[in-house]
Amino acid sequence: MKIKKNHNYLLSDLTKLKGVGNKIASLLKKKRINSIFDLLWKLPKSYTDRSISTKIIDLKIGDIQTVSVIPYKYNFPRIKNLPNRVFCKDITGNLECIFFNSYEGYIKKILPLGKEVTISGKVNFFRNKYQITNPKYISEDSTLIKVKHNQYSLTEGISEKLYNKIIKQIIKDLPRLDEWHNKEILKNFDNISWYDAVNELHKPENIGNHRSSFYRRLAFDEILSNFLVHSEIRKKIKKIKKKVKSFDIKDQNELLSNLEFRLTDDQIKALSEINQDLTSNQKMFRLLQGDVGSGKTIVSLIAAFNVINAGYQVAIMAPTEILARQHFNLAKKLFSKKMNLDLLSSKTKNIDKKKILKDLNNHKIDLIFGTHSIFQKKVLFNNLGLIVIDEQHKFGVNQRKRLSDKGGSECDVLLMSATPIPRTLTMTIYGDMDLSIIKEKPKYRKDVKTYTKLESKIDEIIKFIKKEIKLGNQIFWVCPLIEESKKIDHTSAIKKFELLNNIFPKKVALLHGKTDLEKKEIILNNFLKKEYDILVSTTIIEVGIDFPNANIIIIENANKFGLSQLHQLRGRVGRGTKQSSCILVFKSSLNENAKKRLQILKNTNDGFKISEEDMKLRGYGDILGFKQSGVKTFRLADPVINENLFLLAEKEIIRIKNSKEDINRYKTLIKLYDQADIINDIV
């Protein structure tokens, strides 16, 4: 009796398959293929048509051909390294099969004399004879050969023949799973079942058919499972009950009235959403997303002020020490003597570190700033009420889930990101979080004017920055490489530093990835103090640092960067009240895509628009922030091509939530799409 296979078969270890031992399984696992289900999404890139049989006289040299022949003679030389030969014929001519590293017994078994055998392989012609060397497919049953064989991007050590055999075995044993979608959803995909869709996906004639019903159905499965996981995590976080944080909004308003500027409408809205979370009995797990220079930091500091007034401690984590120090200095200026705050970093002396740790544990510190080190096990808080993490687009869903558990039920979590990403990606990456967006920039900040300049016109750029330096302004000069490369024709930071240092002696600093951390801090602080006029660097300056006096940025080989990265770099200027400029330097030969990117950047300062265009031009896997997000790239779904499926999945999640549908209906779907580790304790 044949055992009915279910989704557990698909999640089984690869060694459950015939022909897959520990060696083959370990080769596949190196390619992140850990289960039978994973193999379903390693799609063929093309196929070889072996279905048409050819007579020997009609063979085409250099092509893969299928031919039925009768072996009539063996030649097994006794001299080492010489190949074994089998002489074959049909009614039109003769063919030699050449074998290297194959034993006599094996050859006699697959090519018995006097019996018709079908062979498929690449045809050569040597010394007036047709030859096939090491034919891939040989069988007395021609129906096993005369088919279309898929070609895959093969893992080293696994042959095409074995790969096809494994995939065919999975498709043959594919379970017919109970349908998880309702009838209304299935109408969008011509009512095709999961089983039929997978079968269609692996047919050679369907390679690359991304707009078909079967492909779209499977892409939708992938998207919906992602959304369901986020929805369930969000639901679980919302179930955590905490004490309501009670604070007087008058104190906040007094603080706001003493600022040198007014908050924008977007900042006020975001602060209001955060305050609602803080004063509710549900744990806050919110992302504050804003374009570069939109003023997220001030919003997070005011939220911290409110939490401290409610009797709690706050921890603010930044990705770099200099950014943590910058936030610390802003807080000191903003809060004056209203609270106790401190900074914990790698530079903190041991004696001071011990005191800070003791004071945190005794609630003598209200607000602590630092890098990831402030969340080490030895750092103990007395009553932590809010964690703020700046620039953490590198956090994946598992890391965020652990983070939400870290502070206990009383601790709210606010993540901040200055990486605008398209809506489809926001839903995908941050679907487990509530979202506040700040698009509007402070009124006093002017849009950065963006210009393009040919590399050959460097003298005009030098002339321009001389004028700016006389006006007391500072310049960022960004190069793609640290040192010169013979292989890549890009400008190096070291070469540019040497050139500029000759023109502006002792007024130019150099910064790159190989600069050690301590020296980097000194250089950036000296630039902040205006001891240098020009800072030559690689792209390491792209995130977070605030230099209000720097109002010019020059980006060499700008056509080599993606739009989102160029926008992040441009965001290093325009932080003060002065008019700022960005000069994109390029070589004369630009392709159409590069021209489009530079034109888009010249036309808009809106990071959200730019990220949408970037995704259309480059594909979602290359968007700044998405690659590092920790989220697995979709196997089939694409946020550009399948935008309508993302919107459909969003509607479906709302319907499921509002109708209070039993999540167990989707248990198989969620488990299949590799989310079992997150969802196991939920469904």
| Average confidence (pLDDT) over 163-176 | 86
Residue 165's pLDDT is 83
Q: What are phi and psi of 190, to 5 degrees?
A: 55, 30
Better-predicted residue by pLDDT, 434 or 516: 434
Q: What are phi and psi of 527, to 5 degrees?
A: -65, -40
Angle between helices 296-309 and 249-257 (to 10 degrees): 140
| Average confidence (pLDDT) over 608-619 | 74
Q: Would the CATH topology of 51-146 be identical to that of 249-438?
A: no
Give Cβ neighbours of residue 529 (< 8 Å, ≥ 6 apart): none
Domain regions of the chain by residue span: 51-146, 177-191+200-239+644-683, 249-438, 449-604
Give Cβ neighbours of residue 644 (< 8 Å, ≥ 6 apart): none
DSSP lists the bridge partners of residue 149 as 48
Residue 155's pLDDT is 67
Lowest pLDDT segment from 17-21, 371-375, 411-415: 371-375
C-alpha distances out from residue 505 to 307, 430, 552, Å = 49, 48, 19
CATH T-level fold of 51-146: OB fold (Dihydrolipoamide Acetyltransferase, E2P) (2.40.50)
What is the per-residue pLDDT across 1-18, written as a single tens digit (0 to 9) for each?
344 567 788 888 888 888
| Average confidence (pLDDT) over 654-668 | 86
Better-predicted residue by pLDDT, 524 or 309: 309
- The rounded distance, in Å, linking the Cα atoms of 420 and 397 is 18
Residue 75's pLDDT is 93
Please state the pTM of the whole predicted model.
0.72
C-alpha distances out from residue 456 to 459, 478, 554, Å = 8, 17, 14
3-state secondary structure of 93: strand
What is the per-residue pLDDT across 135-159, written as a single tens digit (0 to 9) for each?
878 888 877 777 776 766 666 677 7
| Average confidence (pLDDT) over 652-665 | 87
- The rounded distance, in Å, linking the Cα atoms of 345 and 73 is 80
Better-predicted residue by pLDDT, 213 or 401: 213
Radius of gyration of the chain (CA): 32
| Average confidence (pLDDT) over 292-311 | 89
Residues of the chain above pLDDT 90, percent: 20
User: 46 pLDDT exceeds 80?
Assistant: no
Residue 318 contacts residue 347 (beta carbons within 8 Å): no
Residue 231's pLDDT is 85
Residue 442's pLDDT is 73
Residue 402's pLDDT is 60
Question: For all residues of the chain together, what is the average pLDDT?
Answer: 82
Give Cβ neighbours of residue 622 (< 8 Å, ≥ 6 apart): 562, 614
CATH number of 449-604: 3.40.50.300
- The rounded distance, in Å, linking the Cα atoms of 51 and 573 is 63
What is the per-residue pLDDT across 540-549, written as a single tens digit (0 to 9) for each?
665 556 777 8
User: 338 pLDDT exceeds 80?
Assistant: no
Residue 404's pLDDT is 58
Lowest pLDDT segment from 350-364, 569-583, 645-659: 569-583
The band of 634, judged by pLDDT with boundaries at 50, 70 and 90, is confident
Residue 135 contacts residue 119 (beta carbons within 8 Å): yes
3-state secondary structure of 428: helix
Residue 683's pLDDT is 46
Residue 487's pLDDT is 45
Place domain 249-438 in its CATH homologous superfamily. Answer: P-loop containing nucleotide triphosphate hydrolases (3.40.50.300)
The band of 491, judged by pLDDT with boundaries at 50, 70 and 90, is low
Residue 400's pLDDT is 59
